[in-house]
Amino acid sequence: MKKAVLNLWENWPEYLGFTMLFVGFLLAITSGSAVVSYILILLFGLAFGRGYYRLKNKMKHTWFVLAFCTLAGFLIGTVYGDRRIVVLLFVIGVTVSYYLHDKKIVSSKEY
């Protein structure tokens, strides 16, 4: 019988995804109103749009895992506001940020 081994090197996207699920959940729970929830998820969408632009040729799977887990955690923890609006604002944030970076309207420094 083979023992189960946790290989952090191979499974880091899943661990980071679980962490982001927890972070999204905590931020949604602690937001005090629907407006704060909507602003937070729009900012998350803008950040993930930038990330998708930077990683579009590599690590797509990792980006989707992180984005989905963050959105899922936020949806689970959403107390205030409509979940459909949360998803819509996340998608709008990703789309707008990707478009602005793609058209070179916004640029960001690489570290």
Other C-beta atoms closer than 10 Å to the C-beta of 15 total: 11
Q: What's the pLDDT at 13?
A: 79
pLDDT by residue (tens digit) across 83-93? 999 999 999 99
Q: What's the pLDDT at 5?
A: 63
Write the single-letter amino acid at 42: L
Q: What's the pLDDT at 63?
A: 86
Record the tokens describing residue 52, joined without a space. 């998708």
Residue 69 to residue 97: CA distance in whole angstroms: 19
Diameter of the chain by CA atoms? 57
Task: Name the residue ranges covered by the structural domains of the chain.
Answer: 13-100
Write the single-letter amino acid at 107: S
Q: What is the pTM of this model?
A: 0.86
pLDDT by residue (tens digit) across 15-61? 888 999 999 999 999 998 999 999 999 999 999 999 899 888 887 78
Q: What's the pLDDT at 4?
A: 60
